[in-house]
């Protein structure tokens, strides 16, 4: 017998007011000011005099239902049964009662959830999919996030950076982790290896040709079969051809490296939003803990922490001290690869005598 077929209810985005802490609902649009009594805690006061305390804790993002149920239990016991999540997978508990803040923090720490990520701290790294669920990953994401957050746990639970620090990782050069103060991204170093037997059956060749940002791919007959060939001198090893054409394997256990980019900023505070810039490449993709990449991140953060002024984001700090000094302080090599040659590159050169000696 045919099963009853259920039509989807195309309800779209659900109504947040159904799930919002009642104090937030009541004071919606009426908040007046806030302060941070300690790292991981926000205190907001509304124009009507209501007050709400928020406790922010880190999660692993990839959660088993057991972990979510545990967080629910904590929310029921300490926080009126409501939570929300931040863009960086931190969980927030909202409390109407100041006296419940400390017991909630104790409970979260006891259950292994670090409290922090507010103000001038390093929040949770923007977490992508990696080996766990991506079809084109050059590395893992959950493991990288875990390793770096372990290594820099103290910077999550304290507010002792000059300003907020945002990190991201990306497991391929599509970079779905996005721009950040420090971004750790896969950087392929070799052109794709093509399985010519499979191309004709799997790939829509014209769209693969169109996908290449440097027009390095052209149709070709290989061993009598329609396939694609890559001009390896032109190829920038970006991997853009791989998703539409998996026989063009770009991931390489040895030659897919990690690169670190700094100075991305999306906020308009003080300076305009800025793109992140390459500082180092060629780091080994070294699971399960990626110690080499982690060490560079730590080094850059240490220099920033020691030298930047209050409220300076990482990129703003470098704008002030100059790239000469950045490479000097971090001990990272400056190479020909740092000099941009993409469209718009001329705007990234120094057309002045402004030089620090």
Partner 1 sequence: MKKKHETPNLDQLESGPWPSFVTGFKRLAEKNEMMADLLGQLEHSYATKKGYWKGGTVSVLGYGGGVIPRFSEVPDKFPASKEFHTLRIMPPPGMHYDTEILRKLCDIWDEHGSGLLALHGQSGDMMFQGCTTEKVQDAFDAINELGFDMGGAGPSVRTSMSCVGAARCEHSCFNEAVAHRTVMNSFTDDLHRPALPYKFKFKFSGCPNDCMNSVQRSDMAVIGTWRDDIQVKPQEVKAFVETRGRQYVIDNVISRCPTSCMSLKDDDSIEIDNRNCVRCMHCINVMTKALSPGKDRGVTILVGGKRTLKIGDLFGTVIVPFKKLETEEDYESLVELAETIIDFWAENGLEHERCGEMIERIGLANFLEGIGLEVEPAMVAQPRSNSFVRMDTWEEEADKWRQRHELKEGAV
User: Between residues 63 and 329, which has the closer beta carbon with respect to partner 1?
Assistant: 63
Exposed, middle or buried: residue 117 (CB in 10 Å: 0-12, 13-18, 19+)? buried
Say how many CA atoms lie within 13 Å of 189 toward its Cβ: 13
Taking each helix axis from N to C end, the angle separating 101-110 and 65-78, rounded to the nearest 10 degrees, works out to 160
Instruction: Using the structure block, give the residue that is written with the tokens 């639970």.
Output: 157
Least distance from partner 1 to the Cβ atom of residue 187, Å: 11
Q: Which is nearer to partner 1, 197 or 324 (CB)?
A: 197
Residue owning tokens 């926000």: 42
The Cα-based distances of 25 to 70, 75, 98, 216 in angstroms read: 25, 17, 19, 55
211 vs 325, beta carbon nearer partner 1: 211
For residue 11, the minimal CB distance to partner 1 (Å) is: 5
- Token digits for 102? 């400390």
Tokens linked to 31: 């908040």
CB-count exposure of residue 135 (10 Å: 0-12, 13-18, 19+): exposed
In the complex, minimum distance from the CB of residue 165 to partner 1, in angstroms, rounded to a whole number = 14
How far apart are alpha carbons 182 and 169 in whole angstroms? 9
For partner 1, the closer of residues 40 and 264 by Cβ is: 264
Q: How far is the CB of 331 from partner 1 (least distance, A)?
A: 26
Helix (H) or strand (E) holding 55: strand 51-57
- The H or E element containing residue 107 is helix 101-110
* Closest to partner 1 by CB, 60 or 328: 60
Task: Closer to partner 1 by CB, 210 or 221: give it.
Answer: 210
Q: How far is the CB of 334 from partner 1 (least distance, A)?
A: 21
Q: How far is the CB of 354 from partner 1 (least distance, A)?
A: 19
Smallest distance, partner 1 to C-beta of residue 207, A: 6
d(CA 164, CA 121): 5
> What is the rounded (10 degree) CA torsion for 210, 211, 217, 218?
-30
Nearer to partner 1, 72 or 102 (CB): 72
């Amino acid at each position: 017998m045919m099963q009853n077929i259920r039509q989807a209810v195309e309800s779209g985005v659900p109504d947040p007011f159904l799930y919002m802490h009642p104090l937030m609902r009541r004071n919606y649009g009426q908040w007046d000011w806030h302060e941070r009594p300690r790292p991981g805690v926000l205190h907001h006061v509304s124009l009507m005099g209501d007050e709400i305390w928020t406790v922010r804790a880190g999660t692993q993002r990839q959660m088993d239902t057991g972990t979510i149920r545990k967080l629910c239990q904590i929310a029921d016991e300490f926080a009126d049964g409501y939570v929300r999540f931040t863009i960086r997978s931190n969980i927030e508990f909202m409390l109407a009662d100041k006296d419940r803040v400390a017991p909630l923090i104790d409970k979260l720490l006891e259950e292994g959830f670090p409290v922090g990520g507010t103000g001038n701290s390093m929040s949770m790294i923007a977490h992508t999919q990696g080996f766990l669920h991506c079809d084109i990953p050059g590395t893992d994401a959950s493991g990288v996030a875990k390793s770096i957050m372990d290594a820099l746990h103290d910077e999550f639970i304290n507010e002792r950076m000059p300003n907020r620090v945002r990190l991201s990782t990306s497991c391929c050069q599509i970079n779905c982790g996005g721009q950040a103060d420090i971004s750790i991204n896969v950087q392929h170093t070799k052109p794709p290896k093509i399985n010519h037997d499979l191309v004709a059956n799997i790939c829509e060749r014209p769209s693969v040709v169109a996908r290449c940002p440097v027009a390095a791919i052209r149709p070709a007959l290989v061993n009598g079969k329609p396939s694609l060939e890559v001009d390896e001198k032109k190829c920038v090893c970006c991997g853009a051809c791989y998703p539409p054409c998996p026989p063009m394997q770009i991931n390489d256990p040895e030659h897919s490296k990690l690169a670190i980019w700094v100075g991305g900023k999306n906020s308009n505070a003080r300076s305009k939003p800025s793109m992140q810039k390459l500082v180092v490449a060629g780091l080994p993709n070294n699971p399960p803990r990626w110690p080499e990449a982690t060490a560079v991140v730590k080094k850059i953060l240490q220099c920033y922490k020691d030298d930047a002024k209050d409220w300076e984001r990482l990129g703003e700090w470098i704008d002030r001290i100059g790239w000469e000094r950045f490479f000097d302080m971090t001990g990272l090599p400056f190479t020909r690869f740092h000099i941009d040659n993409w469209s718009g590159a001329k705007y990234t050169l120094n057309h002045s005598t402004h030089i620090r000696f």
